Amino acid sequence: MARPSGKKPTAAEKAQAREVSLRRIGSLFTTHRWSLGIVVLIIVLSSIIAMASPFLLRAVIDDALPHADVRLLVWLVIGMVAVAAVTAALGVVQTWISTAVGQKVMHRLRVDVFTHLQRQSIGFFTRTRTGEVQSRITNDIGGMESVVTSTATSIASNLTTAVATVVAMAALSWQLTLVSVVVLPPAILLSRRVAQMRREITAQRQRELADLNVTIEEGLSISGVQLAKTMGTAPALIERFTGSSTRLIDLELRSELAGRWRMASMSIVFAAIPAVIYLAAGLPFTRGTMSIGTLVAFTALQSGLFRPLMGLLNVGVQLTSSLALFARIFEYLDLTVDIQEPDQPVKIDAKGHLRFEDVTFAYPGSEAAAVAGVSLDVPAGTSLALVGETGSGKSTLAALIARLYDPTAGRITIDGVDLRDLSLADLTSIVGVVSQETYLLHTTVRENLRYARPDATDEQIEAAARAAQIHDRIAALPDGYDTQVGSRGHRFSGGEKQRIAIARTLLRDPRILVLDEATSALDNETERAVQRAFDELARGRTTVTIAHRLSTIRDADQIVVVDHGRVLEAGTHEALVGAGGRYAALAA
């Protein structure tokens, strides 16, 4: 379908159009080459052993039975059973090794994608639907499983079996072998056509699955259910989900029918071949040239050729259709990491001296700068308060301190070291952030707090909770610190969630505290209690506070008024009120 002129392709369409190198797919298996080599050796050995069966069968029909040679017949039967037993045992070993290799490759893909996405900037997640990310990791990688776990061994097994079968057929009768292989060209052409169809259908199906995941995420999360119930949008969500599920039915049917028509056509062709062989055996140019045993053995071989040939063709179909899945996964793996770890991280014993040096930052895709030419000096152990109207750039400055983004120009330093020269792990131990949007994990209160510091003792956890004025509330619960907080912390009120988040950050004991509207969800009494705790904890610690209520930042060592990403004025509360500028107007 033609794309309207001037309209940019979507990310999904780019992923579908992306050419995936088979060499890149093959590189996923390079660390397992010895295991795969053993599998191939087993397959070759198994195929060679299996080829003894038709020759044993011929001996039974042409020699043992006509001559009533019981001793020979017994040995031939034992040989047939032994061949079956050995090939079955080798098949078990082959399956075990190949499945283990495939699962390790799947594990590596899942971990690589998850790890790479963890390194992406906040900007990526603001642009990408949560359900889409989940679909790539679960549905797309899950859809590759059959290809990843069995492709290499299936190719080796079927190719070896097919070659060995053709060799054995040629040894029995090269004339009948020529008759048998005429089926290959149409089978290959038909399989290629089906493979292309399935690749297109697979790409559409994965996009539809991603949409389905998004609908589930948006419609069945606690926040989504609340929104649907209060806005009366449940019927629309159900209709959207139903439509997506219906389209998936159609795509699955199209995919299956494409393969079934090919299988049906090939089955008819392969079923007709034995009849043609019997006819050929009775024609003048072949009459009398082979025994009945040879004809039966050849027919058995020819029938056995159907499975490996169809197996090879099916692998081709699966691999081609799975390229759409690999394209979507490699698209994520190829994403540029905006926030890079330094090659040689600088180690510091942080005191907490924070400086902004002519910092400018613009969000990706935005022409206007969210922060423009900001220079600030916050000595270690002092407090800085950022005030201004909504959208003035306060939260952007906080995000830059935590290195959720990197400045477009200028630099931010801690104790004279650029943030970009610190390892991300060291930076997160130095800078602690409590934002106005709290996020609690669906686990116990204790584990939510321990998330910030896995080695924290129960005593340290309780001390942090006391400092955040939330210990008494937690202790009063039937299960205390083992209480489940519910999805996104819905078990608690907004103020309680915020205090738990504050305790979680304090447990890390950071040298620099960034409080982005950290007390916005608290009532006045609780806010004063938490503020007293902050005042105590701020001793010897650098604190950056963003607040709308000026009462919480009156005692800050510096108050900076921000407007449209620029610093309008700075000073103490008394100095700014006396200056009669923007701050004085806000404080009035």
Q: Tokens 């290499």 label which residue?
A: 152
CA atoms of 74 and 66, how far apart (whole Å): 14
Domains identified in the chain and CATH numbers: 11-333 (1.20.1560.10), 354-587 (3.40.50.300)
Residue 75 has a CB neighbour count (10 Å cut-off) of 14
CA–CA separation, 527 and 524 (whole Å): 5
Distance from the Cα of residue 316 to its chain's centroid: 25
- Residue position matching structure tokens 């159900």: 238
Beta-carbon contacts of 87 under 8 Å, excluding residues fewer than 6 positions away, are: 46, 49, 50
pTM surpassing 0.85? Answer: no
d(CA 565, CA 368): 10
| Angle, CA 20 vertex, CA 36 and CA 249 arms, to 5° | 95
Residue from 248, 145, 199, 250 nearest 16 by CA? 199
Query: What amino acid is encoded at 552 in this protein?
Result: T
Cβ proximity of 301 and 168 under 8 Å: yes
Report yes or no: 453 and 508 within 8 Å, Cβ to Cβ.
yes
Closest CA to 305 of 161, 93, 503, 472: 161
The rounded distance, in Å, linking the Cα atoms of 486 and 497 is 11
Instruction: Name the burial class of residue 413, with classes exposed (0-12), middle (13-18) and buried (19+) by CB atoms within 10 angstroms of its CB.
Output: middle
For 66-135, the DSSP string reads TTT-HHHHHHHHHHHHHHHHHHHHHHHHHHHHHHHHHHHHHHHHHHHHHHHHHTS-HHHHHHS-HHHHHH
Beta strands in 321-477 (DSSP E): 354-361, 371-378, 383-387, 409-414, 417-418, 431-434
pLDDT digit string (tens) for the chain, length 588 residues:
334 444 444 444 444 444 567 788 778 888 888 888 888 788 788 878 877 877 787 788 888 888 888 888 889 889 889 988 998 888 888 888 888 888 888 888 888 888 888 888 777 877 777 677 777 777 777 777 767 766 666 776 677 777 777 777 777 777 677 766 666 676 666 666 666 676 677 777 777 777 777 777 666 666 666 556 555 666 777 787 888 788 888 877 776 666 566 566 666 666 666 777 777 666 665 555 667 777 777 777 766 666 676 666 666 666 776 777 788 888 888 888 888 888 889 998 888 899 999 999 998 777 788 899 999 999 998 989 999 888 888 889 988 998 988 999 999 999 999 999 999 889 988 998 887 777 777 788 898 888 888 888 889 999 888 888 888 888 888 888 888 887 666 677 777 887 888 888 888 888 998 888 766 656 777 677 666 666 666 777 899 988 777 777 888 899 999 988 899 999 998 898 888 888 888 876
Q: Exposure pattern of 110-144 as b/e (b: 16+ CB <10 Å)?
A: eeebeeebeebbeebeeebeebbbebbbebbbebb
Strand partners, 569: 561
